[in-house]
Amino acid sequence: MNPERKSPERRSRKARRTREALAQAAFELVLDHGLRRVTVEEIAERADVDRRTFSRYFTGKEAAVLDSFRGDGDRINEALRARPAGEPPLTAYRRAVEDWLEDPGTPAWHRRERVFELVVLAEREPTLYAAFHHIRVDAQEDSVAIVADRLGVDPRYDLRPAVAVAAGAGALLAARAAWARAGRPDDLPRLIGQAFDALAGELFAQPPGGRAPYSTTEESRDT
């Protein structure tokens, strides 16, 4: 190994370990004590660094505690890139999510210790929910770029990549919310399957009798 390259590589490894230590400290402290009772200083102390070091990696405790979710978005996008070129975009996105769920090397949410607790907490804590939203948006932007590349189009002018990703990510988001409400940690794959099945046609099927069982428009006329 070139000695001149060794030092930057060592610094990179050290930075990654520091970030992981801060994220793990935030994860444990917030789940043990609650988001509002944990300070950035306590997280930094648990990770054996100072407050200034924390600020180099994270904008706040919410970003730190959710940091592992960024890796999930990256893994879904890696799987999306690897899907066969001929697959329709929404099918490719669904298969990428399924690959992430079944990955034996890096467990998905339902197979990682205490992640279900964190998802439930994120549904209750507005600032944590907002931080999760930012992570999701970042991942979706990458997904749109991948789908646009698969289609050979410019996503600035062709809406198909953004629509496909919004639909797929929306199904994943709906399943995640239902998972948190249901209280069954092992149920995530089934709920994700249901959400994508709805996009496959059932959601847009005409109800029996040719009309919706409930219409807010007709209700407003009657009142």
The one-digit pLDDT tens for each residue of the chain (223 residues) are 455 455 778 778 899 999 999 999 999 999 999 999 999 999 999 999 999 999 999 999 999 999 999 999 999 999 999 999 999 999 999 999 999 999 999 999 999 999 999 999 999 999 999 999 999 999 999 999 999 999 999 999 999 999 999 999 999 999 999 999 988 899 999 999 999 999 886 555 555 555 554 444 444 444 4
Residues 6+ apart with CB under 8 A from 127: 35, 62
C-beta separation of 65 from 85 below 8 A: no
Claim: this prediction has a pTM higher than 0.75: yes
Q: 70-89: b or e for each residue (b if 16 or more CB lie within 10 Å)?
A: bebbebbbebbeebeeeeeb
| DSSP 3-state of 207 | coil
